[in-house]
Amino acid sequence: MRILIVSQYFYPESFRINDLALGLQDRGYEVTVLTGLPNYPSGRLLENFNWRSVGASEHEGVKVYRVPLIVRGRAKSWQLALNYVSFAFFACLLGPFYCREKYDLVFVFEPSPFTVGLPGVLFRVLKKAPLLFWVQDLWPESLTATGAVKSPLVIKWVGKMVRFIYRRCDRVLIQSRGFRQPAIAAGADKNRIRYFPNWAEQVYQPASVELINKAIDKNSSKFYIVFAGNLGVAQSLETLIGAASHLKGYQDIEWLIIGDGRREAWLHEQITKNALENVKMLGRKPVASMPDYFEIADLLVVTLRRDPIFSLTIPSKIQSYLACGKPIVGALDGEGAAIINESGAGYATAAEDVEALTESVLKLYRLDAGSRKKMGEAGRDYYNAEFNRSHLIEKLEKIMDEAVVEGVCES
């Protein structure tokens, strides 16, 4: 089967679609990726890429076609809008000239923006191939939840675009069961929706002491809390800072923050303003090194803003945390919190509840190392049962076969 993946982001940008493309290729599928010039999250073209990088290339045997786009810059709302629209425009304009082969299936990866669905719809028509749409972010809800868009008129037009795309999808894959009703309300056919969650890349697993690189100068007397991932509006960094402030009297507790994003400068300012010597910002690190940092951690933390839309989502870092077999605390609502609590890996409290997050940290801090290890192992077992990569790709194969046999649905 020949599969065309349409994704605004692809390697060296760190997104789950990289691993899926390679996983499908390993199973004998012929995979082609239509993507943009990599500029996430820095807002600049990544190292070794320039405007001459447009066109054909290859990544570990996967054929890749890159189209130009306007880079994210400082990720202001208008810059992101140009970034999103420019990829959709050039993917529709140039994509058909690059991707001339016959494809049996078109697969769209949507972690935001939803506009990535527009070239997917075009290729569905041109190639007469069924369209699978993997929804990571709900639009237009996520735009209002993060404050990215405030204009009711813009939200109305985005809603029309979302409906246009959903109604032309032969299968809508949702990363959280909580996405089902919002997707139906936005125009998706309930009979075409399938639950297809994220997993963690194969690199995420408990690291042996012998394999750990000197990620930091680890002090055995310290209790390390690690937060990893995007530093944006959705992550409720105020909650993180609040808990660290409450705990700065504990000299042996140290917070390590790994990642970057729109609110990185704000976070630096808050650390300085609150004299948080117990918080260290390590910047963005390669995915391959993350298990080393997680192995150093005594505790992993996840936070999200209090908003109905975020209660429906499962932050992808939860799967990565569970896979590495470390205890977890979270301040978030809904689906993500349920997974932490059900897995036995740790404690999840309400989003933005600084006091409750602080108490959860202290509860685990006061446990003996053996008890924390058992919690991490429970999380790992839960991950293997619910988010096993091999099993999920097998599930996707069945969904793809079903869509190809059924053909392009009328819409």
* CA dihedral sign of residues 342, 344, 308, 72: negative
Is the pTM for the entire model greater than 0.75?
A: yes
Whether residue 199 contacts residue 322, with contact meaning beta carbons closer than 8 Å, is answered with no
**Res. 149: pLDDT tops 80:** no
Q: How far apart are CA 398 and CA 388, in angstroms?
A: 16
Nearest in space to 52 (alpha carbons), one of 37, 31, 32, 70: 37
**Mean local confidence (pLDDT), 364-381:** 96
Position 343: which residue type?
A: S
Question: Do residues 11 and 18 make contact, with C-beta atoms less than 8 angstroms apart?
Answer: yes
Q: Inform me whether the pLDDT recorded for 6 exceeds 60.
A: yes
Instruction: State the distance between the two ends of the chain, measured CA to CA, in whole angstroms.
Output: 24
What domains, with CATH codes, occur in the chain?
Answer: 2-199+388-406 (3.40.50.2000), 209-386 (3.40.50.2000)
> 204, 323 in Cβ contact below 8 A?
yes
Answer whether 15's CB lies under 8 Å from 111's CB.
Answer: yes
pLDDT tens-digit series, residues 52-96: 999 999 999 999 999 999 999 988 889 999 999 999 999 999 999
Is pLDDT at 356 greater than 60 in this prediction? Answer: yes
DSSP string covering 153-192: HHHHHHHHHHHHHHTT-SEEEESSGGGHHHHHHTT--GGG
What's the pLDDT tens digit per position in 28-42? 999 999 999 999 988
User: Over pLDDT 90: what percentage of the chain?
Assistant: 82
Average pLDDT over residues 391-408: 95
Strand duo 253-258 + 223-228: pairing? parallel
Segment 199-248, tens digit of pLDDT: 988 888 776 544 444 556 677 789 999 999 999 989 999 999 999 999 99
Q: In 3D, which of 213, 161, 206 has the Cα closest to residue 186?
A: 161
Q: What is the pLDDT of residues 241-287, one digit of tens each?
A: 999 999 999 999 999 999 988 899 999 999 999 999 999 999 988 88
Classify residue 124 by burial, with Cβ atoms within 10 Å: 0-12, 13-18, 19+: buried
* Bridge pairing between strands 62-67 and 55-59: antiparallel
